[in-house]
Amino acid sequence: MKQQRMLIILVVVFGMILLVGALQNTILSQPIATPTADASVQITPVFEGWGVDNVYAIQIYDPVAQLGLTITRTNDDLWQLVEFGGLLTQEEGNLAAASVALFPVVRILEEIGTDRYDEFGLTQDDLTMLVSVILKDGNEHSVAVGDLTANGDSFYALVDDRPNLYIVNEGPVSFFTVLLRRAYEA
């Protein structure tokens, strides 16, 4: 009797192993879906009419940590850090220029008065970051980044002297934060 029970248990365990193996082979044999770009989704940059090649200098300032970083393009078209020579790779310089040139807008909201800046973390004492760019033609632009939005994937921002409240993607802000912190920790 004891041997029959043991045999039944072994048969059940063997059956379960076969079933798991068959399921695993079925799952592994299915093709992996490749993500495709949705042509209906368009990224709108904060700034229009210029791109990466137009960027001469970028200044990143974190008012909370009171840390700033200036990235400039040399006459040889190489990127350098003004404060820390030799710490920036050309790939990082190009990525910084692309991040500021293509700073993605999630939404543009209504105009807000300066009396409402504190609601969005846009007062001078509450800013998350201030990003300024100087173009090769001498024009200057800036993005004042305030609080993180409720969904956590974007920030409130003011752009140049425009009266509208912007919601911008968090990607460039995260990249600039990492770049800034790494420069000061090196």
16 and 49 inside one domain? no
pLDDT, residue 138, reads 95
**CATH number assigned to the domain comprising residue 67:** 2.60.40
Helix axes 170-185, 90-101, angle to 10 degrees: 150
Beta strands in 40-86 (DSSP E): 44-45, 55-62, 67-73, 79-81
Residue by residue, pLDDT tens for the chain (186 residues) are 666 776 677 666 665 665 555 545 554 444 443 334 444 446 788 888 898 899 999 999 999 888 899 999 988 888 888 887 666 788 888 999 999 998 899 999 989 888 999 999 999 888 999 999 999 999 999 999 999 999 889 999 999 999 999 999 999 999 999 888 888 776
pLDDT, residue 169, reads 93
65 and 137 inside one domain? yes
26 and 55 inside one domain? no
Task: Render the burial of 150-178: b for 16+ CB within 10 Å, e for the rest.
Answer: eeeebbbbbbeeeeebbbbbbebbebbbe
* Global pTM value: 0.74
19 and 70 inside one domain? no
Cβ atoms 155, 170 nearer than 8 A: yes
Q: Residue 140 falls within a domain, yes or no? A: yes
Cβ atoms 126, 118 nearer than 8 A: yes
87 and 11 inside one domain? no
Q: Residue 149 falls within a domain, yes or no? A: yes
Number of structural domains the chain divides into: 2
Q: What residue type is 49 in one-letter code?
A: G
15: containing domain: 1-34
The whole-angstrom separation of Cα 30 and Cα 105 is: 37
The two tokens of residue 84 are 């820390």
Q: Residue 39 falls within a domain, yes or no? A: no
Q: What residue type is 144 in one-letter code?
A: A
17 and 81 inside one domain? no
pLDDT, residue 121, reads 95
Chain centroid to Cα 137, Å, comes to 27
